């Protein structure tokens, strides 16, 4: 039946790639649209610019995007010079204003502005914020280079996060996934969080398909591997080595389709990477997460309470700072979170008895042991 159906079809439509003549006609159409929209004339340099911007994968869509970009520059030119007609030479009159384009890119992207604000609100982590900003600058400049017909190399964005637990590694990874989605680097901005047990199988032949499945689930987003040093425990760890080999192959196969972040303690991660040279070379971006200071931990307590619609009484700052100075918590932000959540629980019991302020957390609501007594 299928063969008879195919033989009964007389007309076939064959879609071929556009040849140079067809591309030239499309470019003429786009320039004609600009002539109709603006009272400017254009020379041959504009046509050459269109040819540089043409993308064989996107065909006419790439030319329409180029027209949109030129329209923005012409609108800017009219606004600044008050001239609405004349002759335009691309090299002198339409060279893209980098500062203008960067500002426009940010202003027209509310999702990016939201993520910038969310990152700025994180307590501490100045070096991490600087790295994220430098990454944003790189992506913006690459887009500017592309618009101007300059070569744009693919740069690895895979990262290593080094630091103690509770220093914000997972939090930053979550923000980064949505940040890079807003920048157009990631398709969906998912963050897939895994550890060794999610990647390494329990019997021969199980690890490779298990790791491959996790990689495919992370396409379009970020694969965050916590305690990554545990993937390969020793030379005898054949399953762990198979996992790493599959991960490296996945990075090559799905280039630029997802980002891998390896996270863990600094000492263990350095030992892990030194034993896997092929892995180390694919992760050029190393980000250090410093321990929080006692004062920063107090600020984190305030931030956590504020997000839950509570606030800390002013007496809390000095006592909490003394508590964090005395307690060996390695700058752990999780300890701050646990303290606030327990304080909310205790405050609820106090409110039922006293009928007090529903939003206020007092120092007596916090479980601080003998520190509270010594500070009073």
pLDDT tens-place string over residues 126-153: 888 888 888 888 887 887 777 766 777 7
Q: What is the pLDDT of residue 220?
A: 92
Q: What is the pLDDT of residue 108?
A: 61
Q: Is 18 left (phi over 0), alpha (psi -120 to 50) or beta?
A: beta
Q: What is the pLDDT of residue 14?
A: 60
pLDDT, mean of residues 268-284: 81
Q: What is the pLDDT of residue 374?
A: 43
pLDDT > 70 in the chain, percent: 80
Residue 16 has pLDDT above 80, yes or no: no
Sequence-ordered list of residues with C-beta below 8 angstroms from that of 44, at least 6 positions apart, any chain: none
Q: What is the pLDDT of residue 348?
A: 92
Domains along the chain with CATH numbers: 1-96 (1.10.8.60), 110-289 (3.40.50.300), 294-365 (1.10.8)
Sequence-ordered list of residues with C-beta below 8 angstroms from that of 48, at least 6 positions apart, any chain: 90
Neighbours of 110 (CB within 10 A): 10
How would residue 85 be classed by pLDDT, with cut points 50, 70 and 90?
A: low
* Average pLDDT of the chain, as a whole number: 80
pTM over 0.75: no
């Amino acid at each position: 039946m299928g063969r008879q159906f195919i033989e009964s079809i007389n007309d076939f439509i064959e879609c071929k790639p556009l040849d140079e003549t067809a591309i030239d006609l499309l470019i003429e159409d786009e320039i004609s649209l600009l002539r109709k929209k603006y009272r400017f004339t254009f020379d041959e340099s504009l046509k050459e610019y269109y040819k540089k911007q043409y993308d064989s994968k996107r065909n006419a869509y790439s030319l329409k995007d180029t027209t949109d970009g030129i329209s923005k520059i012409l609108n800017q030119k009219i606004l600044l010079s008050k001239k609405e007609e004349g002759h335009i030479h691309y090299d002198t009159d339409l060279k893209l204003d980098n500062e203008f384009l960067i500002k426009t890119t940010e202003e027209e992207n509310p999702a990016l502005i939201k993520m910038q604000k969310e990152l700025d609100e994180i307590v501490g982590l100045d070096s991490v914020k600087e790295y994220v900003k430098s990454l944003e600058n790189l992506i913006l400049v690459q887009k500017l280079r592309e618009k101007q017909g300059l070569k744009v190399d693919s740069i690895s964005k895979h990262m290593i996060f080094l630091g103690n637990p509770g220093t914000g590694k997972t939090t930053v990874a979550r923000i980064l996934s949505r940040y890079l989605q807003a920048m157009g680097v990631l398709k969906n901005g998912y963050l897939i969080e895994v550890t060794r047990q999610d990647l390494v199988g329990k019997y021969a032949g199980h690890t490779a398909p298990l790791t491959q499945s996790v990689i495919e689930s992370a396409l379009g987003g970020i694969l965050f591997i916590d305690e990554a040093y545990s993937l390969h425990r020793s030379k005898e760890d054949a399953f762990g080595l198979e996992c790493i080999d599959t991960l490296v192959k996945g990075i090559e196969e799905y280039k630029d389709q997802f980002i891998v972040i390896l996270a863990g303690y600094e000492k263990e991660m350095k030992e892990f990477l030194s034993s896997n040279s092929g892995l180390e070379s694919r992760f050029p971006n190393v980000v250090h997460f410093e321990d929080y200071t006692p004062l920063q931990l107090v600020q984190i307590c305030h931030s956590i309470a504020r997000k839950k619609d509570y606030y800390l009484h002013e007496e809390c700052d000095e006592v909490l700072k003394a508590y964090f100075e005395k307690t060996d918590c390695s700058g752990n932000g999780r300890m701050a979170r646990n303290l606030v959540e327990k304080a909310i629980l205790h405050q609820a019991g106090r409110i039922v008895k006293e009928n007090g302020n529903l939003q206020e957390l007092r120092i007596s609501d916090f479980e601080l042991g003998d520190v509270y007594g010594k500070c009073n």
